[in-house]
Chains A and B, each alone.
Chain A
């Protein structure tokens, strides 16, 4: 036997990627805290009510971001989430109306058990996601185009459904899905499930593998096409879930619901360190990205600053996050 000749790689144990993002979150929070004391004479973080409102505000888009994170890790993108929210909101609300309301969309279908609008809504999202995935996997059109098509089509569907009329008056059990902190619990449940799935199941390993190198994934025996469909389907499903929650909370559904949600969800993922070139990112990172979003929104409200500044700062942070990611990637390539 010859002696082993391959140099042992020095174990590159470094802090988890999320540590960087967490530092950013802490930094931003501290800035608001200090500004709070200076300008308002009160604490920003020391107000539990403010913090819970903050989380509530972002958790609906957070649910979408959990799906979008997986799509981006896979090397794709999903622009259709916001429109799927709109379409799902319309359909589930139309099946969730209370019998006491005399102008229901389907007068024969009022007071249905809550499971009906939920299941139908989720199926709509699942279907939209599967169409996205199948287009991308089997016709090889770029994800950007496939989901752009779905974005326009699903929005069109939402408007056509009632010719633009809003739908209101849900049953109490449906409304409960959006009440109080329920959206936050739903988000946490979804995040936990997919955190485990990405880290500890083949579902997750396949997602990272395809994102890192689809050809290598294929020759390792992975059914790449099938997995792509699966991931987009999950993203569609989670968009639908977000749509159900948001309409339940608002007690009304409108065709314009969820506009721009897809971009906020993508931004959360990107801020959370999910790489747009695929193969890298975690649910934890996206969760931190989501909280950063929340802190910025409520921080600006807290400081009574104009909403315009908020958007500008948000934009800057998104770009900064990508710059940081590109920088990290470069450093690694250099080391290799």
Chain B
């Protein structure tokens, strides 16, 4: 039995949600020292829709999401949840009000199990008030079954791959059964097949009336999954539209305020002698008999699914975790690459996959982050760093890549995710490598900067640099590579020439 007044109240709330959406943001402003991250922005999320939030690196997307998730407090503006103004003072507040979030930077507790990570603060208890680990594992298994995720609930998170961690984060966010689910670049660490998996989950949530905010830099995803989208530029609101009403160029124009014509500015350049040759490289149980040649001026794309061990091959070549058997030849001569230092002496550079774990020094400033690789090789005289030159070079490179920061003295921790990635690219480009290994070079980078980085990569190839590029974004692999090597579960499953390659052939080889 529902009393008349309750029914009326429910009705009022329903009406308000219809007009205001499940979540409405108005006039939000947020300032950090030296940066106005958000200035009078608005956003309205309707239940049962996927709302994409678009904008360049540093546009303020993550900042707004963190405000909605209770991590930052806005300087001005209001948040309406189910039509009612709310203040979200802490992440707990937001979670309890039905807002959960998948963070741009992975946020899991590495030394705990998958189940413990998912149910933290909500652990099931037994009759004695103690945590019931058995039930927690079963609950996790049920959640995974529902989401079709195949992971051991009792595995330790520290032992999962980045993509598996991402799936855990997704499951954790879903497990809150929130009305509003925020996903900040959920696909930046996973491959196409898993993206499909995620989209299935999203569609299911949408059908159940959840309002989803989806942040991505991948345009094709926007058209595949989003119903509406909102664009921010430099911390300001630009506009909201139905995804069906616009095309890709319209969105890019809204985002960057100018035209970007050529996404993959690949120029044909002469391909020279073999610089790097790898023969039967093996780490038992990880990858086996990997052989390939890389020539001067060539871009060799390396495609494959998660678990194909592409990154492990790159790490072996760069000496991070040397292979146990097989040979590496540089300029036709066999070399022993026992550490990254040796690799750098041979003119190699390696942009790693996980910027937070193996890339950035988060506590240091931008300049220090850019110069670390350079000063191990040059610009040091009698033990002293030639700081003036190094600073100039760093500033030039940062400007070229359009790193958005008040100045290079800013702590890297405070930069937006995409701008951190740009800093790392700057770090390696400064060393003027002969062999450049890039592992997901444009992860989390906006369209404008992406084409800029692609232009730089092709430019380097034209100058004769040999480039090995791992990427999970098939358009990027197809657009940039001269040749494509595909791996499947630690084995090379085939090579494709630029002329013959297409998405279907790559996926065929990758999935077998």
Chain A residues engaging chain B, CB cutoff 8 angstroms: 1-12, 196, 199-202, 205-206, 208-209, 211-213, 215-223, 279-280, 332-336
How many angstroms between the C-alpha atoms of A334 and B155 in the bound complex? 16
Report the minimum CB–CB distance from A204 to chain B (whole Å): 8
On whether the beta carbons of A280 and B194 are closer than 8 Å, the reply is no
A219 engages B109 (CB within 8 Å):
no
Q: Which residues of A contact B305 (CB under 8 A)?
A: 5
Q: B interface, how many residues as a size bin?
A: 35 or more
Tell me which of B31-39, B88-96, B270-278 binds A. B88-96
CA distance A221 to B148 in the complex (A): 26
Assembled-state Cα–Cα distance A12/B91 (Å): 32
Question: Are the CB atoms of B131 and A200 closer together than 8 Å?
Answer: yes
B345 at interface (Cβ–Cβ under 8 A)?
no
Would you give 12 A-B contacts (Cβ < 8 Å), ordered by A? Answer: A1-B148, A2-B193, A3-B148, A6-B151, A8-B151, A9-B159, A11-B152, A12-B155, A201-B131, A202-B131, A212-B109, A279-B112
- Which of these, B92, B107, B109, B150, contacts A279 with CB under 8 Å? B109
- Contact residues of B between 11 and 61, Cβ < 8 Å to A: none
Whether the pair A2, B112 counts as a contact (CB closer than 8 A) is no
Residue B167, interface by CB 8 Å: yes
A332 proximity list for chain B (CB < 8 A): 158-159
Q: Are A219 and B194 in contact (CB under 8 A)?
A: no
Contact B161 A336 (CB under 8 A): yes
Contact B197 A4 (CB under 8 A): yes
- A12 touching B159 by the CB < 8 A rule? yes
Which segment, of B116-124, B250-258, B399-407, B446-454, faces chain A? B116-124
Let me know if B91 and A219 touch, CB within 8 A: yes
Q: Mark B133-149, 1 if CB is under 8 A from A, else 0.
A: 10000000000000011
A-contact bits for B292-324, CB 8 A (1 contact / 0 none): 000000000000011100000000000001000
Given A11-B155, A279-B111, 16 other A-B residues pairs in contact with their CB atoms under 8 A = A5-B197, A6-B149, A9-B151, A9-B155, A9-B159, A201-B131, A206-B120, A212-B111, A213-B108, A218-B71, A219-B101, A219-B107, A222-B121, A279-B109, A280-B111, A336-B161
Would A8 and B109 count as touching, CB distance under 8 A? no
Question: By the criterion CB–CB under 8 Å, are B150 and A6 in contact?
Answer: yes
B263 beta carbon closer than 8 Å to chain A:
no
Q: How far is the CB of B310 from chain A (nearest CB, A)?
A: 14
Let me know if A279 and B110 touch, CB within 8 A.
yes
Question: Among the interface residues A7, A199, A206, which one has the most CB atoms of the partner chain B within 10 A?
Answer: A7
Q: Give which listed residue, A1, A5, A10, A200, contacts B130 with CB less than 8 A.
A: A200
Q: Does B483 contact A (CB under 8 A)?
A: no
A6 to B194, Cβ gap below 8 A?
yes
Q: Which of the residues B107, B130, B131 comes within 8 Å of A215, measured between beta carbons?
A: B107
- Chain B nearest Cβ from A219, distance in angstroms: 5
What is the chain B residue whose CB lies nearest that of A3? B148
Q: From A5, A7, A9, A199, name the one whose CB has the most chain B CB atoms within 10 angstroms.
A: A5
Q: Say yes or no: A213-B107 contact (C-beta < 8 A), given A2-B193, A221-B92.
A: yes
Evaluate contact between A7 and B154: CB separation under 8 angstroms.
no
Within 8 A of A (CB), among B316-351: 321
Name B167's contact: one of A6, A200, A336 (CB within 8 Å): A6
Chain B interface helix/strand/loop/mixed: loop
Expressed in whole angstroms, the Cα–Cα distance for A314 and B422 within the complex equals 49
- Do A223 and B200 touch across chains, with their CB atoms under 8 A apart? no
Residues of B close to A206: CB separation below 8 A: 120-121
| A279–B113 alpha-carbon span in the complex (Å) | 12
B-side residues, CB < 8 A to A, are 69, 71, 90-92, 95-96, 101, 103, 107-112, 116, 120-121, 123, 129-131, 133, 148-152, 154-156, 158-161, 163-164, 167, 193-194, 196-197, 200, 305-307, 321
- Shortest Cβ distance from A181 into chain B, in angstroms? 29
Contact call B150/A7, Cβ cutoff below 8 A: yes
Interface contact A221-B107, CB-CB below 8 Å: no
Q: How far is the CA of A10 from the CA of B160 in the complex (A)?
A: 10
User: Inside 8 A of B164's CB, which chain A residues have their CB?
Assistant: 6-7, 9
When distances are taken between beta carbons in the complex, the residues of chain B under 8 Å from A336 are: 158-161
Complex alpha-carbon distance, A205 and B118, angstroms: 12
List A contacts of B120 (CB < 8 A): 205-206, 209, 217, 220, 222
Query: For the complex, what is the distance from the CA of A8 to the CA of B123, rounded to whole Å?
Result: 23
Check A4 against B111 for contact (C-beta < 8 Å). Answer: no
List B contacts of A222 (CB < 8 A): 92, 120-121
Provide the bound-state CA to CA distance between A212 and B110, in Å.
6
Residues of A within 8 Å of B107, CB to CB, are 213, 215-216, 219-220
Per CB-CB distance, the 10 closest pairs between chain A and chain B, nearest first, are A212-B109, A200-B130, A221-B92, A216-B107, A279-B111, A9-B155, A8-B150, A4-B150, A5-B193, A7-B307
Q: Report the minimum CB–CB distance from B176 to chain A (whole Å).
A: 9
User: Distance in Å from the Cβ of B307 to the closest Cβ of chain A?
Assistant: 5
Contacts of A221 in B (CB 8 A): 90-92, 95-96, 121
Indicate whether A5 sits within 8 Å of B194 (C-beta atoms), given known contacts A213-B108, A213-B110: yes
Verify A1–B306 contact, CB threshold 8 A.
Answer: no
Chain A contacts of B154 at CB under 8 A? Answer: 11
Within the complex, what minimum Cβ distance (angstroms) separates B259 from chain A? Answer: 36
B116 touches which of A5, A8, A205 (Cβ 8 Å): A205
Q: Which residues of B contact A201 (CB under 8 A)?
A: 129-131
Q: Tell which of B90, B131, B151, B197 touches A2, judged by Cβ atoms closer than 8 Å.
A: B197
A9 & B160 in contact (Cβ 8 Å cutoff): yes
Contacts of B91 in A (CB 8 A): 218-221
B152 vs chain A, min Cβ distance (A): 5
A196 (CB) vs chain B CBs: closest residue: B130
Instruction: Tell me the bound Cα distance from A12 to B148 in angstroms.
Output: 21
User: Which residue of chain A is the closest to B69 with respect to CB atoms?
Assistant: A219
**Distance in angstroms between the alpha carbons of A209 and B110 in the assembled complex:** 9
Set of chain A residues within 8 Å of B95, measured between Cβ atoms: 221
**Contacts known (A5-B194, A7-B307, A8-B152); A219 close to B131, Cβ less than 8 A:** no
Inter-chain contacts of A1 with B (CB < 8 A): 148, 200
> Chain B nearest CB: distance from A17 CB in Å?
11
Q: Which residue of B112, B148, B149, B158 contacts A209 across the interface (Cβ within 8 Å)? A: B112
B contact residues around A12 at 8 Å (CB): 155-156, 159
Complex partner residue of B131 from A205, A217, A279, A335, CB under 8 angstroms: A205
Assembly CA distance A91 to B130 (angstroms): 36
Find the A residue at minimum CB distance from B71: A219
| B119, closest chain A residue (CB) | A205
